[in-house]
Chain A
Amino acid sequence: MTDVTDVTETETGTDSGGAARSGRDLSSAKDMIVCEGVSKWYGDFQALEGVSATIKEQEVVVVLGPSGSGKSTWIRCINRLEEHQEGLIVVDGVELSNDLRNIEKVRSEVGMVFQQFNLFPHLKVRDNVSLAPIWVRKKSKAEAEEQAQALLELVGIPEQADKFPGQLSGGQQQRVAIARALAMEPKIMLFDEPTSALDPEMIKEVLDVMKNLALSGMTMMVVTHEMGFAKEVADRIIFMEEGQIVEVGTPEHFFTNPTEDRTKLFLSQILA
């Protein structure tokens, strides 16, 4: 994360520079997330039908798909907010099973950002960020608060540290949520529709932070509807529909030359 500089000054281009990242060769990188035949049911309804995918270290994967396609369910299975019933999920060499210690280990290495921010409303912004490092990572209070301040600077809102989340705009809240997840020094970051609950003028500030994070080499899995972000930042795009992975490919391939009919239909609806 050393090469992340001033976030607010970074420009978000819409269509330029997209190919710059998709050309990266990550085939020799370590596997961070391995899913094999992951299935999940809610009662009789099958939300995931045998999802298999491997995500490499430093890779940025964007998951696209119509609503109800199982994107969020899948990403939430990866840190066990949802329990999968069949198949195998291995995160950084640790298999997710019912063993509580494994779950805690995975969770402290996987950061998650939610659609609704889910900041702790009774704690100041600084305490939101430093709480978990103090009690989960067992850092000293001073150290954790120093780190919190540095992270808030990284996401561009150091001056809001003494406010309560309710006093912040949506975009600022989501940036605090990113700082909170980063405070645990995770190896993987999961984003579950991070901009869907934001007003249009605040989406950019959050996407900028995410882009810088991607540039710094973080392994990221992003569920989003922001096509610009997907085009520009993603190494790979996974398209899902009805609980299945329909198509996987680089942004170039996905947006210009999709093979599956369902992908074409989706793109025509989105980009129309």
Chain B
Amino acid sequence: MSEFAGAGAEIGSFYPMPRPDASPPVEEHLPPREWLKKNLFSNVFNSALTVAAGLLIIVMLRGLLGFIFNPLRQWNATAVNLRLLMTHAYPADQYLRVWFSVAAFLILTGLSIAVWRAGSRVPVPDVGKRVTALGVFVTLSALLAPFSGSARLSWLAVAVFLLASGLSVSRTSKDRSVSSLSLLVGVCGLAALSLWVIPYGHHSFVSDRTPKILAEPGTVDLTTKLPWTIMLLIAVAAYGVGLLLRDRIPAKVARTSLVLAWILTPILLLFLVLRDPDFDMGHVLSTDIPIFLVFAVLGSALLFWLTNPETGEVGRIVAVTVLFLAFGSFLMPMRMVIRIFMLLLAIFSLAGPTFSGDRRTRHNYVAIWTGTAVFVSWLITAINTPSTAPVPGQFFLGGFSMTLMVAFFTLLVSFPLGVMLALARTSNMPIFRLLATWFIEFVRGVPLITILIFFSVMVPLFLPDGMDLSEVAAVTIGYALFASAYLAENVRGGIQSVTRGQHEAAEAVGMTTSQKTVFIVLPQALRVAIPPLVGQVIGTFKETSLLIIIGLFDLLFVAKAIIPNQTAFMGSTRENLMVISLIYWVISYSMSKASMRIEKRVGLGEQ
């Protein structure tokens, strides 16, 4: 190496090496005029474009503000009907259940933010710049909007306040920073405070006998401002608890249980809290629990034996036998619960040899089976139990909650299904490949609306006697099948991006095909597929609005068909559509933001 060291010194004299303590060159900070000249008016063409775009923005803003602040607009329509938009006809005296559900989600959000260490430090001057930009926007709006003189003045006063505070904050030292989370809480706190202080107007819908709408001056109703204030406090408290727990529980355990909670909570809330099932304890004790116990105990014993590495070939034969028994159970008259349990047990049995290992691994496997059995058993019982929530119409939820619910269940079903389809389509087995390809190509060739209508109208006709499927459930299944076909294609893209070398490396250490798929291929494939998958999640959420075509009472239906038909708000369609597009946008945009975070984070591990 010595001769190379000499060569290095020689090169050093030709090309001066950077000093070890050299700091990177300071980023050039242009004054506003220079910046404008460099970026917006650098040449004639650029200047013309800037002017044209500026004019276009002003014209559009003027049109939009003219629409919003037109005295003919009935913004009351959404304010009064918020409950209708959110839950449709859910009984008002049961509203504690709704707030309980909102609180549950906020608790999960708070805990997740703490455990995943979301949020970042924002330099204080940057906050000032944002506030200044907002001030500029409000000034522009105040000048463009069709206000009366006094209204314009008060808006301008707000704008001046924003500009002044923004500019003063942006002058502060760059070293000071503030956490983005406390900013968020601050903004939400101010919003909650404004509910108590600012006279937005007192809107309520009184539905006793002759429905009438009250819109009086004053602050909003106590049934609005009190719960939202409590919700904010709950969210902050949950974050605090999350901070405390974060250092006491291993990160992996905390994250896994939170993900599980995010999946299970909506189901529990829907079937236990919101639906308030009227459990028939006699039936539960005499039928449901015994069936569960049989499968839990015998299944555990079977799986414990199957995951023993010494079981060998006999285990595979037994697993296949269970599968045939499960298929056979559909040919004989018996309870649907038993068939479902048989199928589940067959899947667990077939996967058993793949996950066989030492005693601890086997115990974990059996525990997962028991947990699944408890949950499935409870869910089936809850679904079959009539609801006590007295609601007119066919389904107890509507509006935004139905949109959320259908989107959630669609994703929950379509995700595993899509992954399985993708695996089948890329597998070496011709039958699986053929079936998956046919299914995907067929579903992708049929419009979503056709599938939704088919499932709402035709499927109930095909069901066997005694089996009843609500329209919402039927449509959700149809939508999930549709979504899974597209999801499968996205996942397939990911699977094909896993290099041949990865397959060979996994094979060379002796992994079986299923082990290779679970431990090597799928983790990498799903990571690659995150951007298209998030795009699809957002699409699925938004396209639930197609439910309006079948006449289900989702958010769009309430906004388009119900509120504009109230005598007080005849023809308020446009206002409602604007509000719900805002709701859709906020949710989709936050999902998009979250996915960017995830992408960044997974990218880190790979570098």
Contact = CB atoms under 8 A, between A and B. Distances in A.
Contacts of B523: 122
B515 interface: yes
Interface in A182-237: 183-184
Contact of A81 (B354, B507, B515, B524): B507
B508 A167 contact: no
Nearest to B357: A138
Interface in B497-511: 499, 501-502, 504-511
Interface residues of A, number: 32
A132 B360 contact: no
Contacts of A183: 509
A136 B515 contact: yes
Interface string A91-107: 00000000000001001
A121 B509 contact: no
Interface in A127-166: 131-132, 134-136, 138-141, 164, 166
24 contacts: A79-B508, A81-B504, A107-B507, A110-B508, A111-B508, A114-B501, A114-B504, A118-B502, A120-B524, A122-B606, A131-B509, A132-B511, A135-B515, A136-B512, A136-B515, A138-B356, A140-B359, A141-B361, A164-B607, A166-B607, A167-B607, A180-B505, A181-B508, A184-B509
Interface string B342-360: 0000000000001111111
A131 B511 CA distance: 10
B460 interface: no
A134 B357 contact: yes
B266 interface: no
Q: Top 10 nearest A-B pairs by Cβ distance?
A: A108-B510, A118-B505, A132-B509, A118-B501, A112-B508, A140-B358, A138-B309, A107-B510, A136-B510, A122-B523
A139 B358 contact: yes
Interface residues of B, number: 30
Nearest to B512: A104
Contacts of B137: none
Contacts of B519: 131, 135
A124 B569 CA distance: 61
Contact of B606 (A79, A121, A180): A121
A136 B605 contact: no
A114 B357 contact: no
Given A131-B519, A135-B357, A139-B358, A81 B501 contact: no
Contacts of B501: 114, 116, 118
B520 interface: yes
Interface of B: 309, 354-361, 499, 501-502, 504-512, 515, 519-520, 523-524, 527, 605-607
Contact of B360 (A119, A140, A166): A140
A122 B504 contact: no
B509 A136 contact: yes
Contacts of A138: 309, 356-358
Given A136-B509, A181-B509, 18 more contacts: A81-B504, A104-B510, A111-B509, A114-B504, A114-B505, A119-B505, A120-B520, A120-B524, A121-B524, A122-B527, A122-B605, A134-B361, A136-B511, A140-B357, A140-B359, A164-B605, A167-B607, A180-B509
B502 A120 contact: yes
Contacts of A181: 508-509
Nearest to A138: B309
A124 to B, nearest CB: 9
A79 B506 CA distance: 12
A183 B511 CA distance: 13
A179 B607 CA distance: 21
Nearest to B606: A166
B519 to A, nearest CB: 6
A237 to B, nearest CB: 24
A263 B254 CA distance: 63
A107 B357 contact: no
Nearest to A184: B509
A170 B526 CA distance: 26
Nearest to B310: A138
Nearest to A120: B520
Contacts of B356: 138
Contact of A118 (B360, B504, B606): B504
Nearest to A79: B508
Nearest to B603: A166
A79 to B, nearest CB: 6
Contacts of B504: 81, 112, 114, 118
A164 B505 contact: no
A201 B605 CA distance: 26
A139 B361 CA distance: 10
Nearest to A133: B509
B502 A135 contact: no
Contacts of A119: 505
Contacts of A114: 501, 504-505, 508
A164 B361 CA distance: 25
A205 B511 CA distance: 29
